Chain A
Amino acid sequence: MASILVIAEVQNGKVRESSYELVSFARRIAKAQGSEVRSLVAGKGASAAAEELAKKGGGEVYLAEHDLLAHYSVDAFGKAVRAAVAAASPGILLFSHTPIGWDLAPRIAAALDGAFVSDCFNVEESGKLVFLRRVFNGKLDARFVPSASPVVATFQPGATSPFEGALDGKVTPLQVAISPQDLRAKFIEVRTAQKQGVDLSKAEIIVSGGRGLGAPEKFPEVIQPLADALGGAMGASRPVVDAGWLPHAYQVGSSGQTVTPKLYIAAGISGAIQHLVGMKNSNFIVAINKDADAPIFEVANLGVVGDLFEIVPALTKAVNQAKGKA
């Protein structure tokens, strides 16, 4: 029977939530196709994680344990995935679109000469398979249809809810031969992010500026005064930090800080998914953007379609007036 293979990720001894999201997608597709869900857990000391996954929808869980799987490396994990593919002959392989998924999945797709689609937010499984994803940094949606097998797909973390059911599977040990010479890209160490200067996670109000600000001096001139008037902090999108306009500590998003202030004001930020994951759980979101179709308006509570250089200074003035500081 054709199978769907979920490539699970283990973090701190536990299966990541995004892997259970893959199980949700896999179960949906399996039901429509009459196929079977299987999973791979690769690591060292990962048997408890594999047992847990087997009880919670992962089906037959291949457990690849090896000293050289203690840390992720594309070569070692690639060997584990290939061993699982040999055992399961999957028609579909599912990865999360995470630093592991986007590093490994395309290599596997090329090795299998399969169809590849990345960073999907949904799949239509009845009838032909259609993968839904965003293109142009969130500005347009697209439907992708594979015409070859196997299909290798990565899914955006958070794209669906994690599988919740109790469904008994089993753990099958998987032998993988890996030698140190196989590791052409070798793990050395992980350096965790150090918070320096601003800790945005504690701010009640954040005023963030994006590439729409156009120049570094616009931050002290336009964004900081509004943040000051509101007694809040200043934040930024990634291109602002990339350009060296502000230090990394100001960056909000998947590779910056995750924030949940009472009020988040985004000015000149389009709303790419990597920015949204860092701020969409804010209590109240105001977006100011001159493009009425900017994706940021989908997560905002209040929106202003207009020029930030007109709106933000006027708002600063009005806030100061309201505080009697005009």
Chain B
Amino acid sequence: MKIMVCLKQVPHQDARLDVRPDGGWIQEDNIKFEINSYDTYALEEALRIKDAGGAEVVVVSIGPERVTQSLRTALGMGADRAVHVKDPEADASDPLGVAKILAAIAKAENPELILMGLMADDGNSAAVPPMLAELLGFASTTSVMKVTRSNGSLQAERELEGGALEVVELTGPSVLSVQTGINQVRYASLKGIMAAKRKPIDTKSVADLGLAGKVGAAAAKIKIEKIYPPPKGKGAEILTGSTDEIVNKLVGKIKELGLL
């Protein structure tokens, strides 16, 4: 079977986030990028299915040149091939635009299963996976914490609030969005990284996919007017001084609360 895994490259979790002067997005030069945390779990889940019974794992990412590095990482972990949609016209698509691009790739690849992250750590939309399923006419479920396959059907456990789980059975080609913690993600081995150098990365433009004029910033149905640091409310009283002084104030407060 063929599994498509959609990976987004996002700013590193510890990157300093400065807003661009025009307020349109963050400043991207001089920060590190990495594979979206949720997507690393999706990739690991695909690789486990491959390890267990054989599957071809194709990773797909939309983004600029720097995304190549994340695709190489994914290939190093064990993915077989990569498709990179590298086209300035694809940038700044809204989630529906992203879903349209991924749907065009999926139609060409014809996977049985598409694994994605529940949400991207940058835009936090949690939107693309169900949208992609709708465009393809696939079955879908979200926030998946366990996947089991048995003769033709797929069972997924999806996370609800407060830690409850819902068991869902999916029929036919499916899109699953994966929640963090579903598995323990492997690292790329040195051997894997060496082997990845010979694995193909196929580059596509928006026009190649027949989507010229249909995606990207101009076609977006929703636009970011501005991003900005959250307005500061009352906030915490910040303790200052030496570590000793701070700690003494904290102990004083805990006593005042009657807890010491």
Residues of chain A whose beta carbon lies under 8 Å from any beta carbon of chain B:
73-75, 98-99, 102-107, 109-111, 113-119, 130, 133-148, 151, 184-193, 204-205, 211, 230, 238-239, 241-244, 248, 251, 254-258, 262-263, 283-287, 292-293, 295, 297-306, 310-311, 314-315, 317-319, 322-323
The residues of B that contact A190 with a CB separation of less than 8 Å are 160, 164-167
Determine chain B's interface SS by DSSP, over half rule.
Answer: mixed
Interface centre among B126, B222, B233, B260 (most CB of A within 10 A): B222
Contact call B257/A263, Cβ cutoff below 8 A: yes
Cα A323 to Cα B222 in complex, Å, equals 58
Q: Is the CB of B221 within 8 A of A255?
A: no
Q: A116-B96, A244-B184, A301-B236 are in contact. Are A187 and B168 (CB under 8 A)?
A: yes
- For residue A251, which residue of chain B has the nearest CB? B163
When distances are taken between beta carbons in the complex, the residues of chain A under 8 Å from B172 are 184
B122 beta carbon closer than 8 Å to chain A = yes
Indicate whether B152 reaches chain A with its CB closer than 8 angstroms: no
Q: Are A107 and B159 in contact (CB under 8 A)?
A: no
B250 touches A315 (CB 8 A): yes
Q: Cβ of A104: which chain B residues have Cβ within 8 Å of it?
A: 130
CB distance from A104 to the nearest CB of B (A): 7
Looking at A141, A151, A248, A287, which has the most chain B CB atoms within 10 Å of its CB? A141
Bound form: Cα–Cα A318–B128 in Å: 50
Report B161 CB to chain A, min CB distance, Å.
6
Contact of A140 among B134, B143, B164, B228 (CB under 8 A): B228
A323: B residues at CB distance < 8 A: 260
Interface residues of B in 202-260 (CB under 8 A from A): 220-233, 235-239, 243-244, 246-251, 253-255, 257, 259-260
Nearest-Cβ distance from residue A151 to partner chain B, whole angstroms: 8
Specify which chain B residues have a CB less than 8 angstroms from the CB of A134 in the assembled complex: 124, 230
Assess whether B86 is interfacial by the CB under 8 Å rule. Answer: no
In contact, B257 and A147 (Cβ under 8 angstroms): no
- Known contacts A136-B124, A140-B227, then 12 further A-B pairs from the complex at CB < 8 Å, ordered by chain A residue: A74-B130, A102-B126, A115-B94, A116-B96, A137-B121, A284-B257, A286-B250, A297-B238, A298-B233, A310-B243, A314-B244, A318-B247
Q: Which residue of A has the minimal Cβ distance to B135?
A: A110
Q: Is the CB of A297 within 8 A of B181?
A: no
The complex places the Cα of A184 from the Cα of B175 at a distance, in Å, of: 11
Which one of B122, B220, B239 contacts A303 once the chains associate, using CB atoms below 8 Å? B239
- Find A136's partner among B17, B158, B162 (CB 8 Å cutoff): B17
- What is the 8 Å Cβ interface bit string for chain B, positions 171-184, against chain A (1 contact, 0 not)? 11010000111001
Q: Do B95 and A116 have beta carbons less than 8 Å apart? A: yes
Bound together, the chains give a CA A189 to CA B168 distance in angstroms of 7
B21 in contact (CB, < 8 A): no
B227 and A142 contacting across the interface, CB-CB below 8 Å: yes
Give the distance in Å from the alpha carbon of A255 to the alpha carbon of B13 in the complex: 21
Please measure, in the bound complex, the distance between the C-alpha atom of A142 and the C-alpha atom of B123, giving whole angstroms.
Answer: 9
Question: Which listed residue (B161, B174, B225) contacts A130, Cβ 8 A?
Answer: B225
Contact of A98 with B121 in the complex, beta carbons under 8 Å: no
The residue from A186, A262, A303 contacting B237, defined by CB atoms under 8 A apart: A303
Q: Which residue of A lies closest to B123 (CB)?
A: A135
B229-A140 in contact (CB<8A): yes
On whether the beta carbons of B139 and A188 are closer than 8 Å, the reply is: no
Chain B hits for A241, CB < 8 A: 181
Residues of B within 8 A of A (CB): 11, 13, 17, 19, 26, 94-96, 99, 121-135, 138-143, 155, 157-172, 174, 179-181, 184, 220-233, 235-239, 243-244, 246-251, 253-255, 257, 259-260
Q: Which of B126, B143, B163 has the most CB of A within 10 A?
A: B163
Do B130 and A319 touch (CB < 8 A)? Answer: no
Select from chain A the residue with minimum beta-carbon distance to B246: A304
Q: Are B96 and A110 in contact (CB under 8 A)?
A: yes
- Residues of B within 8 Å of A255, CB to CB, are 159, 161-163, 179
Contacts of A98 in B (CB 8 A): 161
Known: A147-B220, A314-B243. A186 touches B169 (CB 8 A): yes
Please name 22 pairs of A and B residues whose Cβ atoms are closer than 8 Å in the assembled complex, sorted by A.
A102-B143, A103-B158, A106-B128, A109-B96, A138-B230, A139-B17, A186-B170, A188-B167, A191-B157, A193-B164, A230-B260, A251-B163, A255-B162, A262-B257, A297-B238, A298-B236, A301-B237, A302-B237, A302-B249, A305-B238, A315-B250, A319-B260
Contact of A135 with B124 in the complex, beta carbons under 8 Å: yes
Are A106 and B259 in contact (CB-based, < 8 A)? no
Question: Given the complex, which residues of B lie within 8 Å of A292, measured CB to CB?
Answer: 238
* Pairwise interchain contact B180-A239, C-beta atoms closer than 8 A: yes
Asked whether B121 lies within 8 Å of A103 as measured between CB atoms, the reply is no
**A300 touching B236, Cβ below 8 Å:** yes
Who on chain B is nearest to A195 by CB?
B163
Give Cα distance in the complex from A135 to B11, angstroms: 12
Given the contacts A74-B140, A119-B126, A205-B259, A319 and B228 also touching, CB distance less than 8 Å: no
Given contacts A238-B181, A304-B246, contact A287 B171 (CB under 8 A): no
Interface centre among A99, A297, A310 (most CB of B within 10 A): A99
Q: Give the residues in chain B near A147, CB-CB below 8 Å.
A: 220-223
Q: Is the beta-carbon distance between B236 and A302 smaller than 8 angstroms?
A: yes
